[in-house]
């Protein structure tokens, strides 16, 4: 259950309870000039999925907002799948999916 102080993941829109693995995502990758730039708190599984799907260049160029990430066709299957999981859910993300 979430309350007013529980943050929400801007990718999957589920609450991030304190017990859930979580991480900060640089909206513009550090290697592409985003060091010191805006970050968002995500479920760790959501963060891993972003980096498994997209190159640093794609993230910097076209996917540098939560809304752009949510709208990306490459993430729609994942977003539909994760929406059915509890907020604490954690799983391994398969590697090798970068394009």
Confidence grade of residue 98 (pLDDT, cut at 50, 70, 90) = very low
Q: What is the pLDDT of residues 61-71, one digit of tens each?
A: 999 999 999 99
Average pLDDT rounded to a whole number, residues 3-23: 92
pTM of the model as a whole: 0.86
Looking at residue 99, what is its pLDDT? Answer: 45
Q: Where are the beta strands (DSSP E) in the chain?
A: 22-26, 39-43
* Spatial distance between the Cα atoms of 95 and 32, rounded to a whole number of angstroms: 22
Number of residues that this document lists for the chain: 99
Give per-residue pLDDT as tens, 28-74: 999 888 898 999 999 999 999 999 999 999 999 999 999 999 999 99
């Amino acid at each position: 259950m979430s309350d007013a102080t529980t943050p929400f993941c801007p990718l999957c829109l589920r609450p991030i309870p304190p017990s859930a693995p979580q991480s900060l995502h640089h909206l513009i990758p550090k290697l592409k000039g985003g060091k010191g730039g805006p970050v968002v708190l995500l479920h760790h599984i959501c963060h891993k999925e972003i980096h498994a799907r997209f190159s640093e260049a794609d993230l910097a160029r076209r996917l540098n907002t939560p809304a752009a990430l949510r709208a990306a066709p490459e993430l729609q299957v994942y977003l539909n799948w994760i929406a059915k999981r509890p907020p604490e859910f954690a799983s391994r993300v398969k590697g090798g999916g970068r394009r």
